[in-house]
Amino acid sequence: MRLGIRIFLVYFLFVGLTAFFILSTVREEVRPSVRQSTEETLVDTANLLAEILRDQVKAGTLGQSNLPELLKAYGQRRPNADIWGLAKTQVNHRIYVTDANGIVLLDSSGTAVGQDYSRWNDVYLTLQGKYGARSTRSDPDDPESSVMHVAAPILDAGTIIGVVTVAKPNSSLQPYVDRSERRLINLGLGLIVLGLLVGAGLSWWLARSLRRLTRYAQAVSEGERVALPHYRGGELATLAGAVERMRTQLEGKAYVERYVHTLTHELKSPLAAIRGASELLQGPMSDEQRQRFAGNIESESARMQQLIERLLHLAQVEQRHGLEDQQWVALGALVDSLLMAQSARIEAAGLQIRQRLPATQQLLCEPFLMRQAIANLLENALDFTPPGGLLVFALEHAGARVALSLYNQGEAIPAYALGRLSERFYSLPRPGSGRKSTGLGLNFVEEVMQLHGGTLEVANVEDGVRVRLWLPASRLG
Q: 112 phi and psi, to 5 degrees?
A: -120, 10
Q: Do residue 426 and residue 467 come from a single domain?
A: yes
Q: Do residue 144 and residue 268 come from a single domain?
A: no
295, with CB counted inside 10 A (0-12, 13-18, 19+), is exposed
Secondary-structure percent of the chain, ordered helix, strand, coil, rounded to 5: 55, 20, 25
The answer to whether the pTM exceeds 0.75 is: no
Q: Is residue 135 assigned to a domain?
A: yes
151 beta partners: 165
DSSP secondary structure letter of residue 381: H
Q: Do residue 99 and residue 144 come from a single domain?
A: yes
The domain of 244 spans 223-250
Q: Do residue 283 and residue 358 come from a single domain?
A: no
pLDDT string in tens for the chain (477-residue length): 565 676 767 777 777 777 777 767 766 776 777 778 888 989 999 999 999 989 888 888 887 788 877 877 777 778 777 776 777 777 788 899 999 999 999 888 888 889 999 999 999 999 999 999 999 888 888 877 889 999 999 999 889 999 999 998 887 777 777 777 777 778 777 877 887 788 777 777 777 777 777 777 777 666 666 667 777 767 777 777 776 666 665 554 444 455 555 555 556 656 766 777 777 777 787 878 778 777 777 776 776 776 666 566 555 655 555 667 788 999 999 999 888 888 888 998 899 999 999 888 899 988 878 888 898 899 889 888 999 999 999 999 888 899 999 999 988 988 888 888 877 667 777 776 656 666 667 877 888 888 888 999 999 998 899 999 999 988 887
E-strand ranges in 170-219 read none
Per-residue pLDDT at 36: 83
Q: Is residue 216 assigned to a domain?
A: no
Q: Do residue 235 and residue 306 come from a single domain?
A: no
Per-residue pLDDT at 255: 47
CA 439 – CA 314 distance, rounded (Å): 11
Closest CA to 400 of 290, 474, 314: 474
Task: State which amino acid sits at residue 218.
Answer: Q
Closest CA to 31 of 217, 171, 228: 171
pLDDT tens for 268-297 read 656 766 777 777 777 787 878 778 777 777
Neighbours of 354 (CB within 10 A): 10
Q: Is residue 165 assigned to a domain?
A: yes
